Amino acid sequence: MFISGLTVVMPAPTAAQATDYFSGFHANAVHTWATGFPNEVPAWVAAGAPAQVPWLTWVNADGTSAWNGQFLGGVSTPPPGRIGYQIGDEPMDVASFQAMATGAALVRAADPNSLLIVNFAPGITSWNAIAASAASFAPFDIVSMDAYDYGKGVFKSLARARAAALANNKVWWRYLDGYFEAPNSSASTEADVRWDGYVGLAYGYTGHSWFLYQVEPGPTGTLRTAFFTTSGDYASAHTQKFAWAASVNQELANLGRAMVLLRSTDVRYVPLSTLYQPPETVSWAPGAGSDPYLAGVAPQGVLGPEAIVGHFRDDCDEPYVFVMTNAHPGGDWPNSSAANQTIRLSFDFASSTDASLDKTAVLVLDPVTGLVAPRPLTSTGSNTATLDVPLRAGAGVLLKYKNARPFALQ
């Protein structure tokens, strides 16, 4: 699971500040902007020594550095720890996308083992034409999306990047909300920050980058970090959002022990009413994701928040279910709530031919501890049962049916 925070036009961190990023913020890779070469990436690598620092950096669409205009910043041999490169940003039409693909081919030739990323913005009017351009996707390994909306519109963007990645046999990553525009301030709540991380998991995203961790405010106008009280200063005091995001990062890492080993087979929504259902979502129904046993998903409470269900399979074709509450204050009605919620899952095991299937429990990966443990079911018949899943606002859990095959974990 790739977890990072983007740093933009920043000076070198000290060793203590690098430790704060990895051990305090719980990121697992450095992520720099298009000025990363020739200065910022080597500075992070040096600050993290003697440990190897995993890193990823942007470059311009043609593979050059925004710092000096040279290809890959004039760096002939990438420092140790290289993950890859984001090629440009947010193509708005087929022509700009194809230009990035050309740049990606140049970077690939110079650094053949790197992962290459293309990142899209929401609301692209020419999305259908871009998505149909399979040849332009070919040079990339990862399809990324930056959608910072807490309302129902975000589901359209999440679905688009996932669909494009699946159609082109790619991995999909995303950016999360860690910024604000001065003179405003960040209005996120703890539940919003948690939801922002978890909703990507439901859609099968295996890379998560906070936009942004820290930023020098001069060249970028009004852009500010929501994680420090002062932009442009790693020594500045942390904000409350730093602590919230750090907790979410740890939970993403814990859930990522399994998620990176699974393939997303379906994403469904459990609406209070289809009249208010987010665009480009599909209502959950039995059989979604070819799950043989899940028979019902019912958020508890009158006019309560809705639910999101992700279906997955491992390499042994074992089914997994990720279920989360859509409750978060930044959401649209009826989801604008910071209250905890219980979601009742119903199971019907009558079709099972698996002699090892335990119909009295399921296995649940706890996002806080990172441990798998059986969760007993409440029997409602000879082959039917229910499980009440209590969730913090914006949170979810990953479960697997309990049989002879183990929970897929790194």
pLDDT tens for 177-211 read: 999 988 777 789 999 999 999 999 999 999 999 99
CA separation for the pair 147, 176 (Å, rounded) = 7
Tokens of 133: 């351009």
What is the pLDDT, as a whole number, of residue 323?
A: 98
Tokens of 264: 């997303």
What is the pLDDT, as a whole number, of residue 231?
A: 95
Mean pLDDT of the chain: 96
User: CB of 204 within 8 A of CB of 264?
Assistant: yes
User: CB of 72 within 8 A of CB of 110?
Assistant: yes
CA separation for the pair 370, 175 (Å, rounded) = 23
Q: Which residues make beta-bridge pairs with 321?
A: 311, 399
CA separation for the pair 367, 251 (Å, rounded) = 5
Residue with tokens 């859609």: 203
Residue with tokens 């034409």: 129
Average pLDDT on 2-12 reads: 96
Q: What is the CATH number of domain 263-401?
A: 2.60.220
What is the pLDDT, as a whole number, of residue 333?
A: 94
**How sure is the predictor about 217, in pLDDT bands with cuts at 50, 70 and 90?**
confident
User: CB of 320 within 8 A of CB of 400?
Assistant: yes
User: CB of 137 within 8 A of CB of 164?
Assistant: yes
CA separation for the pair 27, 214 (Å, rounded) = 13
User: CB of 401 within 8 A of CB of 363?
Assistant: yes
Question: For residue range 147-172, what is the model confidence (pLDDT) as tens digits?
Answer: 999 999 999 999 999 999 999 999 99
Domain boundaries, the chain: 2-259, 263-401
Total residue count of the chain as it appears in this document: 410
pTM above 0.85, yes or no: yes
What is the pLDDT, as a whole number, of residue 189?
A: 96
- What percent of the chain lies above the pLDDT cut of 90? 93
pLDDT at 218 over 90: no
CA distances from 26 to 6, 23, 111, 299 (A): 13, 5, 28, 31
Average pLDDT on 248-263 reads: 98
CATH of 2-259, one of 1.10.3720.10, 1.10.10.10, 3.20.20.80, 3.40.50.1980: 3.20.20.80
What is the pLDDT, as a whole number, of residue 183?
A: 79
Residue with tokens 């960040």: 186
E strands, 249-380, where?
A: 263-270, 294-299, 307-313, 319-325, 341-348, 361-365, 372-376, 378-379
What is the pLDDT, as a whole number, of residue 279?
A: 87
Question: For residue range 287-319, what is the model confidence (pLDDT) as tens digits?
Answer: 999 999 999 999 998 888 999 999 999 999 999
Question: For residue range 347-382, what is the model confidence (pLDDT) as tens digits?
Answer: 999 999 999 999 999 999 999 999 999 999 999 999
What is the pLDDT, as a whole number, of residue 184?
A: 76
Tokens of 281: 């979502």
Stretch (H or E) spanning 175 = strand 171-177
Tokens of 208: 């998560």
Segment among 179-183, 206-210, 228-232, 279-283 with least mean pLDDT: 179-183
